[in-house]
Amino acid sequence: MTHPLPQPLDVVARGPLTGSIAVPGDKSISHRALMFASLAVGTSRITGLLEGEDVLATAAAMRAMGATIERQDDGIWVVDGVGVGGLLQPATALEMGNSGTSTRLLMGLVSSHPITCTFTGDASLSGRPMGRVIEPLSQMGADIAASPGGKLPLMVRGICPAVPITYTLPVASAQVKSAILLAGLNTPGITTVIEPVATRDHSERMLTGFGAQLTVEETDQGRVISITGEAELTPQDIVVPGDPSSSAFWLVAASIVPGSDIVVRNVGLNPTRIGIVTALRMMGADITELDPRTVGGEPVADLRVRHAALTAIEVPADLAPSMIDEYPVLFVAAAFASGTTVARGAHELRVKESDRITTMRIALEACGVACEEFEDGMAITGSGGAAIRGGARVASKLDHRIAMSMVVAGLGSAEPITIDDISPVATSYPVFFRSLDALTGKGE
């Protein structure tokens, strides 16, 4: 896949953020809604699906394997599934673009079906290791041939019946957990995943909603999740809550820009996803939950955020799994706090769309922020609420979260920050800049 031409952007301070916005649908839930609906027998409807490039890659892959997936004029997506065990041999390679979630979860699905799939991706995705997914799926009997380093392009030859396993996650990863559970859907017997550190539980919640036999037990070893194959999934109507990872950019932006007062509507507050809210509140952020409610089995609320003086903290390492995607923008919040924030326990940042630790350190240092890099995180000495220097050109490294995080940094910089390429933002948040304009009064 060829990446589009770079789209550089100069970000300048715009003054306070005010008003209210809704963030796009949760990316993790959107991926899973499409996959599980495609494995149900009958028609499912999905409201609020994130229509970013990553999720559209999942939709295209499920179509290629036999599901009928259509977007109606009212924005509701209608999915007619093929049933567990009914995936068809795709005619061509599955193009994953930039989506690691699509790749790892679909590898799991394919592994227990009698089909062979080749997975390809863009330059960023092709540089990300898949070994931690290959290992357990190979134990289940799948034959996986990867490029050197366990990277894309790779080929998965599924096996049916696959072998049920009990697997302890060596590193906290919801994607690896989900890949194993999805392989277990079409595997006779009980497939078990043990996670010593809890990760986001959207797969467990949604699989249960679709009718899978799934149990979750808290033990001294950690959470033990077991799924019974060969499952029969029943179609569902799903409402996707707003993505907490997307809302994080606005929580930080409003916190650091004086005079800001915003409401971010319909934010999913799954306990396994809101580490960023916890961390920001520890730093002194003014975040209030309005109208808490349950949508599609997930806790949701509107979040009011007002500018506040942030104070440095030592981020608890056990928060890492519940905010792993939000570390780049947390680093930005730390750049404006008083004192030195230490954030560790985030080894997984090294193998995201970019090496998010090194990439953010280089970007922040270029903008005048003092940073110290560790293998699993960073220490960042903040400005005490004053504007950071800015005035630098920074690299997004084809990483949507790096690009958006540095846009937020630019809103509090004395001099413009030039981001070399903002095109990756479309993978997860296509209307990000429209929302920015709305909150800063720059829209029509």
b (16+ CB within 10 A) / e for 142-152: bebebeeebbb
Contact (Cβ atoms closer than 8 angstroms) between residue 130 and residue 103: yes
Topology annotation, domain 9-25+241-439: UDP-n-acetylglucosamine1-carboxyvinyl-transferase; Chain (3.65.10)
User: In the predicted model, is pLDDT for residue 444 greater than 70?
Assistant: no
Mean pLDDT of the region 366-390: 97
* Calpha distance 324→327 (Å, rounded): 6
- The predicted pLDDT at position 1 comes to 44
Mean pLDDT of the region 210-235: 97
Banded model confidence at residue 169, pLDDT cuts 50, 70, 90: very high
Spell out where 307-416 has E strands: 314-315, 340-343, 370-374, 377-381, 388-390, 393-394, 413-415
Positions annotated as catalytic residues are: 325
* Calpha distance 87→231 (Å, rounded): 14
- The predicted pLDDT at position 260 comes to 98
- The predicted pLDDT at position 333 comes to 98
Banded model confidence at residue 443, pLDDT cuts 50, 70, 90: low
Q: Top-level CATH class of 27-229? A: alpha beta
| Residue 356 marked in a binding site | yes
User: In the predicted model, is pLDDT for residue 81 greater than 60?
Assistant: yes
- The predicted pLDDT at position 306 comes to 98
- The predicted pLDDT at position 347 comes to 82
Mean pLDDT of the region 231-238: 96
- The predicted pLDDT at position 56 comes to 96
| Residue 45 marked in a binding site | no
What percentage of the chain carries pLDDT values higher than 90?
Answer: 89
| Residue 14 marked in a binding site | no
User: In the predicted model, is pLDDT for residue 3 greater than 60?
Assistant: no
User: In the predicted model, is pLDDT for residue 69 greater than 90?
Assistant: yes
Q: How far apart are the first and last CA of the chain?
A: 35
| Residue 100 marked in a binding site | yes
With a CB cutoff of 8 Å and minimum separation 6, the contacts of 219 are: none
In 48-170, where does DSSP find H-type helix?
Answer: 53-64, 100-111, 131-139
Sign of CA dihedral 103, 181, 293, 218: negative
Average pLDDT, the chain: 95
Banded model confidence at residue 5, pLDDT cuts 50, 70, 90: confident
What percentage of the chain carries pLDDT values higher than 70?
Answer: 98
| Residue 221 marked in a binding site | no
| Residue 205 marked in a binding site | no
Q: Give the residue among 292, 346, 341 at the shortest CA–CA distance from 319.
A: 346
* Calpha distance 258→248 (Å, rounded): 17
Domain with CATH 3.65.10.10 in the chain: 9-25+241-439, 27-229
Mean pLDDT of the region 119-125: 93
In 141-194, where does DSSP find H-type helix?
Answer: 174-185
The token duo for 348 is 């997984």
| Residue 391 marked in a binding site | no
